[in-house]
Amino acid sequence: MPQLDVTTFAPQLVWLAITFAAMFLIMWKIAVPKISDALETRQMRLEDNLKKAEDLQREAEATLASYEKALADARAQAHEDIQKIQQQLQEAAAKEEAELSDKLDARIAESEKAIAAEVEKAMESVRDVAIDVAADAIEKLTGEAPPSGKVENAVDGVLKA
């Protein structure tokens, strides 16, 4: 094997040094700067993305805060509107109840007048019937027709009591 030949060690070591130096210079001047630039570019991109993410997060938090505020305002407005509508409904119900109560009171008063008139008519009818019955009963018991004025006065006195 030529690598193990002692007579060729010196040229092999020279070529090893030259190859190593050439490879070292190529790596130092070409490959490492490209790798370094790529790493720097990647790091910058990561930092920019992190800054953008932070900005977007702050913007999202601000948007969320404004949304929550708008939602709270809308709920408060809705609650206020509901209370106003409930109050209006209560007032309308009270007004309608008062109108209905007035109508019912008027109808009750009319009905009471009609009932009183009917009772008056019935009492007149009862009075007339009572006068006739009393006159007939006295005539059958005594055999004589009683004077109409006395029977009417007696029936009126009993009806008043």
Query: With the CA atoms of 49, 54, 60 and 61 taken in that order, what torsion angle do they form, in degrees rounded to the nearest 10?
Result: 170
Taking phi first (over 0 means left), then psi (-120 to 50 degrees means alpha), and beta for anything else, what does residue 143 get? left
Answer whether residue 100 is part of any domain: yes
Q: What is the pLDDT of residue 1?
A: 63
Q: What value does the mean pLDDT of the chain take? A: 90
Q: Which domain holds residue 41?
A: 8-160
Q: Residues 3, 5, 8, 10: is their CA dihedral positive or negative?
A: positive
The pLDDT of residue 52 is above 80: yes
Answer whether residue 51 is part of any domain: yes
Answer whether residue 23 is part of any domain: yes
> Among the ranges 6-10, 48-52, 110-114, which has the highest mean pLDDT value?
48-52
Q: pLDDT tens digits, residue range 35-45?
A: 999 999 999 99
Answer whether residue 2 is part of any domain: no
DSSP state at residue 21: H
Answer whether residue 62 is part of any domain: yes
Answer whether residue 1 is part of any domain: no
pLDDT: is 7 or 67 the higher one?
67
Total structural domains within the chain: 1
Answer whether residue 3 is part of any domain: no
Q: What is the pLDDT of residue 151?
A: 76
Tokens representing 103 are: 């109508």
Answer whether residue 44 is part of any domain: yes
Q: Which amino acid is at 47?
A: E
pLDDT band for position 96 (cuts 50, 70, 90): very high
